[in-house]
Amino acid sequence: MVTSHYDHIWDCCCDHGLLGMSLLSQQENSKVHFVDIVPELMATLKNKLERFYKNFTWQSHCIDVAKLPLAQYQGKHLVIIAGVGGDLMIKFIEAIYQQHKRLNIDFLLCPVHHQYALRQKLIKLDFSLKNEVLIEDNRRFYEILHVSSTSNITANISPIGDNIWCATDDYQAAVVDKYLTKTLSHYQRIQQGKNNNVQNIIDAYRAIKP
């Protein structure tokens, strides 16, 4: 999903910076920006980048993701946010969107939980879908969403996902099956709690026929 037509790739909440470093080696035409809010993390990462990635194009930013300085850099942007909760991701995307309404920004999102709420937010902002995949790694499941901040009526984002439920081989069919079971039992547990009504979400997931 990270193709060479991006001028700037933002590895947000980068922590160890492994994702951005791997992209540096693959995407020679892009500048990779490493963003995290913790100064100690960024100092260690900057040191590593200066030692091992001297000849690559990168920049480190010790800032809040909600304040990405996208407008200071000309060209096509890809904002990657992975490994944080979908609820926090919603806040970041809302803030970035409000500050850069005129820019056509692509996002690559891999939320931890709250996938449904995140998708609802993207739909509300009228974002469009470029691609989505479901991955199992170390018994954890990840929905990865590649979206654009511009609307496209032929590429709507589904509140529960679309392509992620379509397996093309036996391995992926098993992943889909396990993830659907896990997601349904998660919402069924929530439904049992006091004052919780997520029946519409349960019905939507139940309607999926992988």
Ligand X SMILES: C[S@@+](CC[C@H](N)C(=O)[O-])C[C@H]1O[C@@H](n2cnc3c(N)ncnc32)[C@H](O)[C@@H]1O
Judged by beta carbon, residue 64 or residue 177, the one nearer ligand X is 64
Q: How far is the CB of 81 from ligand X (least distance, A)?
A: 7
Q: How far is the CB of 65 from ligand X (least distance, A)?
A: 4
* 41 makes contact with ligand X (CB under 6 A): yes
Answer for the pair 8, 77: CB distance below 8 angstroms, yes or no.
yes
Binding part of the chain for ligand X, among 46-54, 80-88, 118-126, 130-138 by CB under 6 A, reads 80-88
Total residues contacting ligand X by CB under 6 A comes to 13
| 8 sits in which H/E element | strand 8-12
How far lies 138's CA from each of 32, 54, 141, 142, 175, in Å? 27, 33, 8, 11, 12
Angle, vertex CA 135, rays to CA 159 and CA 33, nearest 5? 85
Tokens matching residue 10: 């933002």
Closest Cα partner for 53 from 29, 82, 22? 22
Q: How far is the CB of 84 from ligand X (least distance, A)?
A: 5
Q: Which of 65, 89, 108, 118 binds ligand X (CB under 6 A)?
A: 65
* 83 makes contact with ligand X (CB under 6 A): yes
Binding part of the chain for ligand X, among 51-59, 78-86, 126-134, 152-160 by CB under 6 A, reads 78-86
